[in-house]
Chains A and B, each alone.
Chain A
Amino acid sequence: MREVLEASVQEALKSGARYAEARISKIFSNRIEVRRGRVERVVPSIELAGSVRALVRTWGFSSTTRPDEEQMLEAARRAARAAKALSSLPGREVGLAEVPAVEDEVEMGEVVDPRAIPIDEKLEIVLACDEAARSVDARVVMTDFRYEDQVIVRAFSNSEGTYVREACPFTHLRMAITAREGGNVQTVTGRLSAAAGQELMAYGDPVGMAERLAKRAVELLSARKAPSGKTRVLVDNTISGLLALCVGVMASAELASMPGSELGLFHGKLGQQVASELVNITDDPLAEGLTVAMTYDDEGVRARPVKIVEEGILRNYLHSRPTAFLMGQEPNGRARASSALLTPMPLSTNTVMEPGDRTVEELLEELGDGLYVVGLVGATIGGMVHCDCEAAYRVEKGQIKEAYRSVSLTFDLLKDLKKVEAVGSDFDIVSLRLSSGEASYQVCGGGPHVLFSELTVG
């Protein structure tokens, strides 16, 4: 692999580029889908991809699904030709922030390699989860389990002498369980997800999770619909994790440089108050036990934790080398591409809101009268963030009184993050797939329970 990458880089330089980089990715994956006891899909696959990016005044890019030497050299020539052609048009010259050259190979570490486990054993686990959920109650009418494991091998080389190769595992099980009684339908979801191997399925207790979710769906059938309006709200980790994730997405320097865009909320706001001073948000691809594990990004830059928000103030964007150069800042290793077929762009990894000092009981007491909302089901992220949640509890004088089902929350991020009154000392994560066009990225958000003075419900 190294020889092919280095030869491709040299070919791009010979073809007229002033800088070149080559990437190869190999993704070994298994996908299993089970619905209502039926196996809908069992797909093992290996995806190969390679690409070359060449720089003259601006970029040229070419990719291939057959990254052998012949195809990669051809991709190098095409990328250089494209770079020369595009560089003759008017436009800004692309610069790259300086980084030291590095040579490194990063292996997976002590994990149970998913490639070593037969797919029928993985299927048995998913079927056991499905059966456990359906056995809870006859009112459980739909179960949807989606399992995926991957081993992602990425290799990168550039004309500055950098060569890195990194292998990462990823295992994910998403469950959605629906209970119905007459016209009343309630869906709850759960996820087990980590940059880990098969050991996640052992220690994560997926069967136990499936049973608990099914019981919760049935319990919520007897709950009323939540009233809508503005009220004091305590949110759980899945929702605060989503908010942290949104901050991470919008901290992308590329998005932040688009003032007209829905996601460009952080444009021009470095150094400004964007949240309550109780809010601290960090993006960290090196944190253990979370969903994304990345020592080097897809430009060969060593990744490091980045404090995005510190005591409510926006401190840093997430950069690729071009965006760091453009803004006169240090690159921080966030250039990501979901495969070598795509060009990298600055993107978050594991973005977490740091825990504070209150227990959940103390937060309920501080909430006084309001709503306690739990269980992110899904969300749309734009200028406003809309999230659908499993349930909410009416809280009166700090005591949980009544459950409501199917609650939605709407966040105006720049306003609502300033309404954080207290931050819990607990922590949990939510793992989501962000899709934009052809690209699809795994990201992770994490956080504690958070108390808001006012949010829009319904």
Chain B
Amino acid sequence: MAFESGAGPGEKRIESAIRRLSALAGISMVMVVGPGGEELYRWYKTSADRFRIGLEVKDILELLDRTSSFLSKIGPGPLEDMIIRTKEKVAVIQAAGNAFLVTVAYRSANLALLLIRSRATAEELSKILG
């Protein structure tokens, strides 16, 4: 397991919260983006994943910004989650209160369980981050 931590409150608590999510087979990366757009936490399954996945906080913020108009037109209410799939990977962006939990996994990961654990982790994070 290889991880990097960003600046932010309760780093140990965040690490503990994402442990169950990151233990799921097929997960490559988990990132927590704070309410102010700051990176609070980042974890990679392996060092190779750290080099292969070049995702940054600005990429997440840009995606959320680009989809805000779309979201406002499809109906009321804030974003709950977003699932993005490519041929080999799946990414889930889960709202965690005012923060966001981002998970990248291989397509072989159990998506149903990933969504369930992602949601549970996001609930815990929203309590930690306030």
B110 at the interface (CB under 8 A from A): yes
State which residues 91-114 of B face A: CB under 8 Å: 110-114
Q: What's the tally of chain B residues with a CB closer than 8 Å to chain A?
A: 9
User: In the complex, what distance in Å separates the CA atom of A207 from the CA atom of B112?
Assistant: 10
State which residues 30-78 of B face A: CB under 8 Å: none
Binds B, one of A31-39, A196-204, A213-221, A446-454: A196-204
B111's partner among A128, A202, A206 (CB-CB below 8 A) is A202
A3 at the interface (CB under 8 A from B): no
User: In the complex, what distance in Å separates the CA atom of A128 from the CA atom of B114?
Assistant: 12
Residues of B within 8 A of A207 (CB): 116, 119
User: In the complex, what distance in Å separates the CA atom of A124 from the CA atom of B120?
Assistant: 12
Residues of B within 8 A of A117 (CB): 110
User: In the complex, what distance in Å separates the CA atom of A128 from the CA atom of B115?
Assistant: 11
Residues of B within 8 A of A206 (CB): 112
State which residues 100-124 of A face B: CB under 8 Å: 112, 117, 121, 124
- B119 x A199 contact (CB < 8 A): no
- B113 x A124 contact (CB < 8 A): yes
User: In the complex, what distance in Å separates the CA atom of A201 from the CA atom of B120?
Assistant: 16
> Among B111, B112, B115, B119, which residue has the most Cβ atoms of chain A within 10 A?
B112
Residues of B within 8 A of A278 (CB): none
Q: What's the tally of chain A residues with a CB closer than 8 Å to chain B?
A: 13
- B111 x A125 contact (CB < 8 A): no
Shortest beta-carbon distance, A407 to chain B, in Å? 30
Residues of A within 8 A of B120 (CB): 128
- A198 x B116 contact (CB < 8 A): no
B113's partner among A125, A199, A205 (CB-CB below 8 A) is A125
Shortest beta-carbon distance, A349 to chain B, in Å? 26
User: In the complex, what distance in Å separates the CA atom of A125 from the CA atom of B114?
Assistant: 10
Shortest beta-carbon distance, A234 to chain B, in Å? 24
State which residues 187-236 of A face B: CB under 8 Å: 198-199, 201-202, 205-207
User: In the complex, what distance in Å separates the CA atom of A207 from the CA atom of B113?
Assistant: 11
Shortest beta-carbon distance, A339 to chain B, in Å? 28
User: In the complex, what distance in Å separates the CA atom of A112 from the CA atom of B115?
Assistant: 15
Shortest beta-carbon distance, A68 to chain B, in Å? 34
Residues of A within 8 A of B112 (CB): 125, 198-199, 201-202, 206
Shortest beta-carbon distance, B89 to chain A, in Å? 15
Q: Which residue of A lies closest to B81 (CB)?
A: A205
User: In the complex, what distance in Å separates the CA atom of A216 from the CA atom of B113?
Assistant: 25
Residues of A within 8 A of B111 (CB): 112, 198-199, 202
Residues of A within 8 A of B115 (CB): 202, 205
State which residues 288-317 of A face B: CB under 8 Å: none
Shortest beta-carbon distance, B58 to chain A, in Å? 28
Residues of A within 8 A of B113 (CB): 121, 124-125
Residues of B within 8 A of A121 (CB): 110, 113
- A198 x B119 contact (CB < 8 A): no
User: In the complex, what distance in Å separates the CA atom of A198 from the CA atom of B114?
Assistant: 12
User: In the complex, what distance in Å separates the CA atom of A124 from the CA atom of B114?
Assistant: 11
> Among B111, B113, B120, which residue has the most Cβ atoms of chain A within 10 A?
B113
User: In the complex, what distance in Å separates the CA atom of A205 from the CA atom of B115?
Assistant: 9
User: In the complex, what distance in Å separates the CA atom of A213 from the CA atom of B120?
Assistant: 19
Shortest beta-carbon distance, A148 to chain B, in Å? 15
Q: Which residue of B lies closest to A199 (CB)?
A: B111
Residues of A within 8 A of B116 (CB): 124-125, 128, 207
1/0 per residue, CB under 8 A from B, across A78-100: the answer is 00000000000000000000000
Shortest beta-carbon distance, A115 to chain B, in Å? 13
User: In the complex, what distance in Å separates the CA atom of A199 from the CA atom of B116?
Assistant: 13
A-B pairs with lowest CB-CB distance, top 8? A201-B112, A202-B111, A202-B112, A128-B116, A121-B110, A121-B113, A125-B112, A202-B115
19 more contacts with CB within 8 A, not counting A198-B110, A202-B111, A207-B116, are A112-B111, A117-B110, A121-B110, A124-B113, A124-B116, A125-B113, A125-B116, A128-B116, A128-B120, A198-B111, A198-B112, A199-B111, A201-B112, A202-B112, A202-B114, A202-B115, A205-B115, A206-B112, A207-B119
25 pairs, CB–CB < 8 Å, chain A vs chain B: A112-B111, A117-B110, A121-B110, A121-B113, A124-B113, A124-B116, A125-B112, A125-B113, A125-B116, A128-B116, A128-B120, A198-B110, A198-B111, A198-B112, A199-B111, A199-B112, A201-B112, A202-B111, A202-B112, A202-B114, A202-B115, A205-B115, A206-B112, A207-B116, A207-B119
Contacts from A to B (Cβ < 8 Å): 112, 117, 121, 124-125, 128, 198-199, 201-202, 205-207
Contacts from B to A (Cβ < 8 Å): 110-116, 119-120
